[in-house]
């Protein structure tokens, strides 16, 4: 039976676009379930890979089983979406045998990393050099602070951290908030870095560090970044510990370096928004992913780090974007040039989306 990769578009679109780009360049079979007729994937060169347009956001086991069984190919799920990951892990047994290959580790292992509260215990045990932000009382927090969800998915929706730099922002965040779903910590100010990696089932690892330059307000999406250096994390111990725990798959960890040390922020055990930078400078990350599913491909040559940059021009137009310390030496004109020239959509396969999505 033939096998092809399955992407759900409409969420984390920049990661989905990068995976489409990689699959197309590598000559790998893939298909897409779009979020509807208005999904931006229809304005790309891969619109002919869409096999289904959803009418709403409802996902259930019966629908997924029917989707998979109606196709003759085995579908390999690509983990780009926290809600879908959680749904598939919860219903893994019910979906067994329908032709859907769920490329995720065991649920307990996944939850240990994606949970903001559990992961900080695991990561500081593996990486003694990482510090944790000081805790605050969720029932009496004070700004500046961050309110983090205990679990990423609760009540059928994804919960996100709430960054509160001022008392006014904190008051707005607490309005109507179910505090039982959150815990509070001091807000750490400093340079943000991502450790971007793929951990293969056999323990092989491909990774690189990303230095974040510009980010949407409230700790949302990174809109400008460059390859960077390890700020002082024992990667070998980290990856060995994760492999020992049974984790395999994509992995992105954020740390912030401040005057008082290296602080652990969070892990995304799925493909991340600025994935294009990985394809540019460390394509082995995606090479290991497809190898884990039985495909060997010739990888594109990696770009020189000093010539690589990730940008999301449309996202950078959001009012109130934060400039990280690594960007402070860049003049505004150069930042605008980088955003335009390196926009993730500024390529022939997504030209219609350039600077407008």
Question: Quick one: 285 and 166 in the same domain?
Answer: no
CATH number for 61 = 3.40.50.720
The whole-number pLDDT of residue 130 equals 98
Question: Quick one: 100 and 156 in the same domain?
Answer: no
Question: Quick one: 196 and 334 in the same domain?
Answer: yes
Question: Quick one: 182 and 206 in the same domain?
Answer: no
Quote the percentage of the chain above a pLDDT of 90.
94
Average pLDDT over residues 67-84: 93
- The string of pLDDT tens digits covering residues 301-345 is 999 999 999 999 999 999 999 999 999 999 999 999 999 999 999
The whole-number pLDDT of residue 57 equals 84
The whole-number pLDDT of residue 329 equals 93
Average pLDDT over residues 89-97: 96
Q: Are strands 130-131 and 261-268 parallel, antiparallel or unpaired?
A: parallel
The yes-or-no verdict on residue 155 having pLDDT over 90 is no
Question: Quick one: 174 and 201 in the same domain?
Answer: no
Task: Give the whole-angstrom CA distance, residue 94 versus residue 114.
Answer: 22
CATH number for 254 = 3.30.470.20
Question: Quick one: 123 and 267 in the same domain?
Answer: yes
- The string of pLDDT tens digits covering residues 187-216 is 999 999 999 999 999 999 999 999 999 999
The whole-number pLDDT of residue 357 equals 95
Ramachandran class of 232: left when φ > 0, alpha when ψ lies in -120 to 50, beta otherwise = left
Quick one: tokens of 28? 């790998």
Average pLDDT over residues 36-48: 97
Q: How confident is the model at residue 354 (pLDDT cuts 50, 70, 90)?
A: very high
- The string of pLDDT tens digits covering residues 95-131 is 999 999 998 999 999 999 999 999 999 999 999 999 9
Question: Quick one: 25 and 138 in the same domain?
Answer: no
The whole-number pLDDT of residue 88 equals 97
The whole-number pLDDT of residue 253 equals 98
Task: Give the whole-angstrom CA distance, residue 124 versus residue 140.
Answer: 26
Q: Which of 20, 14, 7 is nearest to 349 (CA)?
A: 20
Question: Quick one: 32 and 145 in the same domain?
Answer: no
Q: What is the mean pLDDT of the chain?
A: 96
Q: Which residue range(s) make up the domain with 165?
A: 134-186
Average pLDDT over residues 42-70: 93
Q: How confident is the model at residue 58 (pLDDT cuts 50, 70, 90)?
A: confident
Q: Are 163 and 146 in contact (CB under 8 A)?
A: yes
- What is the tally of structural domains in the chain? 3
Question: Quick one: 263 and 345 in the same domain?
Answer: yes
- The string of pLDDT tens digits covering residues 236-274 is 999 999 999 999 999 999 999 999 999 999 999 999 999
Question: Quick one: 124 and 270 in the same domain?
Answer: yes
The count of other CB atoms within 10 Å of the CB of residue 156 is 10
Q: Which of 267, 272, 270, 251 is nearest to 123 (CA)?
A: 267
Question: Quick one: 273 and 212 in the same domain?
Answer: yes
Question: Quick one: 156 and 18 in the same domain?
Answer: no
């Amino acid at each position: 039976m033939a096998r092809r990769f399955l992407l759900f578009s409409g969420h984390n679109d920049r990661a989905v676009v990068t995976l489409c780009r990689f699959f197309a360049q590598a000559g790998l079979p893939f298909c897409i379930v779009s979020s509807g007729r208005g999904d931006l994937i229809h304005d790309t060169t891969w619109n002919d890979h869409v096999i289904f347009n959803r009418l709403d956001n409802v996902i259930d086991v019966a629908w997924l089983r029917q989707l998979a069984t109606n196709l003759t190919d085995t579908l390999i799920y690509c983990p780009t979406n926290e809600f879908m990951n959680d749904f598939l892990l919860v219903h893994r047994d019910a979906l067994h045998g329908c032709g859907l290959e769920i490329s995720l580790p065991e649920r307990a292992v996944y939850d240990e990393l994606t949970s903001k509260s559990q992961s900080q215990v695991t990561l500081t045990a593996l990486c003694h050099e990482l510090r944790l932000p000081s805790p605050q009382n969720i029932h009496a927090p004070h700004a500046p602070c961050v309110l983090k969800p205990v679990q990423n998915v609760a009540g059928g929706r994804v919960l996100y951290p709430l960054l509160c730099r001022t008392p006014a922002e904190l008051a707005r965040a607490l309005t109507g908030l179910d505090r039982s779903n959150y815990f509070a910590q001091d807000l750490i100010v400093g340079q943000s870095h991502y450790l971007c990696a793929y951990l293969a089932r056999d323990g092989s690892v491909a990774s690189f560090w990303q230095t974040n330059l510009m980010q949407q307000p409230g700790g949302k999406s990174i809109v400008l970044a460059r390859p960077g250096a390890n700020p002082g994390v024992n990667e070998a111990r980290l990856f060995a510990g994760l492999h020992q725990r049974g984790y395999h798959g994509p992995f992105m960890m954020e740390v912030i370096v401040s005057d008082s040390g290296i602080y652990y922020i969070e892990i995304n055990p799925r493909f991340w928004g600025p994935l294009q930078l990985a394809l540019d400078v460390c394509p082995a990350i995606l090479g290991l992913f497809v190898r884990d599913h039985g495909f060997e491909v010739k990888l594109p040559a990696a770009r020189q780090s000093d010539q690589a940059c990730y940008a999301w021009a449309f996202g950078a137009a959001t009012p109130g974007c934060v400039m990280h310390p690594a960007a402070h030496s860049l003049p505004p004109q150069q930042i605008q040039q980088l955003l335009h020239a390196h926009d993730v959509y500024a390529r022939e396969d997504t030209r219609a989306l350039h600077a407008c999505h």
